[in-house]
Amino acid sequence: MLDNAITLLLLLSTLVASSLATTARVLIYSATADFRHDSIPTAIQALQSKQSSFGIQFENTEDKAQFTDQILAQYDALLFLDNTGEVLDDSGKAAFQKYLNLGGNYIGIHAASDCLRNTTFYGNEVGAFFDYHPALQNATVDVIDASHPSTSMLPAQWHVQDEMYNFKTDPRAIGATVILSANESSYVDTGTHLGQGTPHPTGNSSNLVPAAQLNENILLAWFQEHGAGVEDNGSSGRSFYTSLGHLNETWQDELFLAHVFGGITWTLQSNTTLAFNASAQVGNPVASTSNSTSSSSTSMLPTPSSSPSAMISCPSIDKFSVKFMIVSVIVAACFPWLLRL
């Protein structure tokens, strides 16, 4: 009986191990051409430090030459971190556009809305371009949608010290769903809003209103189930953007990191990349091979040579839970004696 129990336990461990095979690959791109945040290294380290908690392989680069069709095709998401200015050339933009068209996912953090300002598809993918922000100060962030994985852990009114971004357009106009906003009554903003839609002015000069006269909510974070940066014939992945993340201290705050990782994991669950869909056209080819039931081979693609990386491995919660429940039911039904050991 003991031998049978050991055999069964080995079988169970094999099943559990198979649920850990999925690893999503994310490229962090932190190149800057204008203002540079000194919190970028801290942010990268903070993302890497969660290696025991998330099934993600992070790699980072600031080399725009890495934006080629072949290299981008290896990633399940591109994470733009605090980018400013013209951080891609025309060939890089074309590769980025193709990546999105093939189902690639996008994540933008903080100043990611202040780069590639004249590139229409990028503005649509991030949701809106940065306009200005008032002085760094304490503010109250309101959770608009507490059901999203990036907000479910947050208090209804989240008190933060950060830059409250204003944007040139309303991200809801291209299909984004707003999940966080900043209550303007909680901080001082003497600037002039431009084009953020209801409840804000529409953006033409006759409707500009000083922020001090408003008692409304500024949009801070949103998501797109289907990223709007995709061309008409493309197959869109997901897009997530949060404007928070200015300070080094912010990236050392576990609640903020939970917000960011909630957005990242939600984005990766688009089912449009190889980490979770063996028939996808972009994503981690290793994950595709391990998860596929076919015997098709996957060629090895070049890896950015200048990119420090961190392997982050843990079970995919949904898949692990389902498999564990199924195995538990089988054990209880077919091997009740094992429970008495």
DSSP secondary structure, 104-139, as one string: -EEEEEGGGGEESTT-HHHHHHHSS-EEE---SEEE
Q: State how far the alpha carbon of 154 is from the alpha carbons of 215, 224, 230, 301, 308, in Å.
A: 23, 20, 31, 39, 31
- pLDDT tens digits for 308-318? 333 333 334 44
Which residue from 55, 42, 57, 56 is spatially nearest to 245, judged by alpha carbons?
42
pLDDT at 193: 64
CA distance 159 to 154: 10
pLDDT, position 286: 82
Q: What is the DSSP-derived secondary structure letter of residue 198?
A: T
DSSP 102: T
The pLDDT of residue 290:
56
CATH code for the structural domain at 21-314 = 3.40.50.880
Residues of the chain scoring pLDDT < 70: 1-21, 51-52, 193-217, 287-341
Measured distance CA(109)–CA(120) in Å, rounded: 18
Q: Where are any strands of DSSP class E within 118-277?
A: 130-132, 137-143, 157-162, 166-167, 177-183, 217-224, 239-242
* Residue 228 CA from chain centroid, whole number: 15
Predicted structure pTM score: 0.77
Task: Using DSSP, state whether 80 is helix, strand or coil.
Answer: strand
